[in-house]
Amino acid sequence: MYMIGEIITTLFSKFPLVGAIGAVAIIMAFSYWFANLIGQKRMGSAIAIVISLALAFVAGKTTGGAKGISDVTYFSGFALLGGSMLRDYAIVSTAFGVKLENLKKAGLPGVVSLLIGVAFSFFVGVIIAVALGYNNAVDAATIGAGTVTFIVGPVTGTALGASSEVVALSIAAGVVKSVVTMIITPLIAKSIKLDNPTTAMVYGGLIGTTSGVAGGLAATDSKLVPYGAMTATFYTGLGSLICPSIGYMIVKMFL
Amino acid sequence: MEIYGLGIVAFCMYIGSFAGYFIGKLLGVSGNVGGVGFAMLLLVLLSNYYETKKGGWSERTQNGILLLSALYIPIVVAMAGIQNVVAAFSGGAVAFLAGGIATIGSMLLVPLIGKLDKDETIE
C-alpha cells in the first residue's frame, strides 16, 4: 500500500502541469453539470471560477500559504497552468475571429460605450476600493481594473506589482460582475430597452465581461448574443491597455 | 499546421509585450503596460490582412489558435485557484460592492448611449 501511495505522489510531482489540467477538467465538468442541473447552462464557467476560488480558500486555510491550491503538493501545477505566461498567451488568441469590418460596423455607439464602459467600471471600483480603505494607488487601480473584468484585474495587478491578496480581490470583483450580469440582464432587459442590435452592442461595450454578456443575452434573447459579444470582445483588450497605463496614472494623481 | 497558429499568437505576444514593456519603461512603471491589448490588436490586424489578401490561414493553422482560445476559460479557472483568497476574504465587501455597483450602473447607461446613437442618425 505504501508503495502505491509513493507512486501516486511521484506522478503528481513529476507531471504537475498534466495533473493541473486534469484537475481543472474535473472542476469544469462538475460546474457545467451543476449549471445544467439548475438550468443556467451559460453559468458553467462562472461556477467553475467560484469553485476554484473556494478551493483556494480551503487550501490557504489548511496550508497557511499565499498561493492557493498550488501550495498543496499534489496541485503545484496550478501555478503553471494559471500563471501569467499561459494566461496572457490564451487571452491574446481570443482576438482571433474579430473582424475589422465588425469593428467598424459597431461604429460610434460601440466605441463610445467601450470607452465609457471601461472608464465607468474602473472608477466605480477605484472609488469603492478607496472608500473601504485601499488607499494605495496600486491597490485601488488593481481593484478598479478587476471591476472592469476578472482578466484586466490580474493583468493590471501584475503590471503594477500588486499583492496576491489584492489580485484575488480584483478577480472576485470581476466574478461578481460576471455573475450579477447573468442574473440581472433578463430581469431588466425591458426597462433598459435591450431589445435591438444597437442597444445589444452598447450593452456589450458597457458591461464587457464576455461570459456575463453572452450568458445574460442568451437568457434575454439569443438573437442578440453575437451583437453584444462583438463589442464585449474588445472590452478586455481595451481594459488591459488603458487600466495599467492611463487609468493608473489618473488614480496616482489623486492618491 | 497547428504549430503555425500557436506560433502566430506567440509572435503577437512578443511584439505586443515588447511595446508594453517599452511603454512601462517610459512611464517608469516596472512591467508590461497594455502589452496584452497591443498583442490582441496585432492579431486582429494580421488575421484580417491575411483574410483579405490571401484568403485567410489554413484550417490547421486556425486550429492552433482556436485550441489556445478554448483553453482560456480553463486557464482562468486555474488562475482563480492560485490566488490568496483567504487574505481577500477579509476585504470581501470591496469585491461585492465594486462588482455589483459597477454592473448595475453600467446597465443603466445602456439606454442613454443607445439614445445618443439614434439622435446622431437623425441628424
**Is the same domain home to B56 and B107?**
no
**Is the same domain home to B74 and B122?**
no
Question: Do residues B107 and A192 lie in contact, with contact meaning Cβ atoms separated by under 8 Å?
Answer: yes
Q: What is the pLDDT of residues A87-98, one digit of tens each?
A: 889 888 887 877
- A16 — contact with chain B (CB < 8 Å)? no
**Is the same domain home to B16 and B75?**
yes
Is the pLDDT score of A49 beyond 70?
A: yes
Q: What is the mean pLDDT of residues A114-126?
A: 93
**Is the same domain home to B72 and B42?**
yes
> Looking at residue A238, what is its pLDDT?
84
What is the secondary structure of chain A as a DSSP string?
-HHHHHHHHHHHHHSHHHHHHHHHHHHHHHHHHHHHHTT-GGGHHHHHHHHHHHHHHHHHHHH--SSGGGGSGGGTTHHHHTSHHHHHHHHHHTTTT--HHHHHHHHHHHHHHHHHHHHHHHHHHHHHHHHTT--SHHHHHHHHHHHH-TTHHHHHHHHHT--HHHHHHHHHHHHHHHHHHHHHHHHHTTTTT--SHHHHHHHHHHH--HHHHHHHHHHH-GGGHHHHHHHHHHHHHHHHHHIIIIIHHHHHHH-
Buried b / exposed e across A149-185, counting CB within 10 Å, b at 16+?
Answer: bbbbbbbbbbbbebbbbbbbbbbbbbbbbbbbbbbbb
> Looking at residue B62, what is its pLDDT?
92
Is the pLDDT score of A103 beyond 70?
A: no
> Looking at residue B123, what is its pLDDT?
33
| Number of domains chain B contains | 2
**Is the same domain home to B2 and B46?**
yes
Confidence grade of residue A105 (pLDDT, cut at 50, 70, 90): low
CA distance A122 to A69: 29
Confidence grade of residue B28 (pLDDT, cut at 50, 70, 90): low
> Looking at residue A81, what is its pLDDT?
93
Is the pLDDT score of B121 beyond 60?
A: no
For B98, the domain range is 84-123
**Is the same domain home to B22 and B76?**
yes
Confidence grade of residue A127 (pLDDT, cut at 50, 70, 90): very high
Confidence grade of residue A150 (pLDDT, cut at 50, 70, 90): confident
**Is the same domain home to B74 and B33?**
yes
Worst-scoring range by mean pLDDT, A33-42, A144-153, B27-36? Answer: B27-36
Nearest CA distance, A214 vs chain B (angstrom): 14
**Is the same domain home to B15 and B63?**
yes
ipTM of the complex: 0.83
> Looking at residue B91, what is its pLDDT?
61
**Is the same domain home to B43 and B77?**
yes
Cell of A35: 449549471
Comparing CB atoms, the residue among A59, A94, A100 nearest residue B69 is A94
Phi, psi dihedrals of residue B57, rounded to the nearest 5°: -75, 155
Worst-scoring range by mean pLDDT, A103-107, A214-218, B75-79? Answer: A103-107
More confident: A36 or B115 = A36
Q: What is the mean pLDDT of residues A187-208?
A: 86
Three-state DSSP class for residue A80: helix
Comparing CB atoms, the residue among A59, A192, A244 nearest residue B34 is A244
Three-state DSSP class for residue A20: helix
**Is the same domain home to B46 and B98?**
no
CA distance A222 to B33: 36
**Is the same domain home to B38 and B79?**
yes
Nearest CA distance, A155 vs chain B (angstrom): 8
- A229 — contact with chain B (CB < 8 Å)? no
**Is the same domain home to B78 and B90?**
no
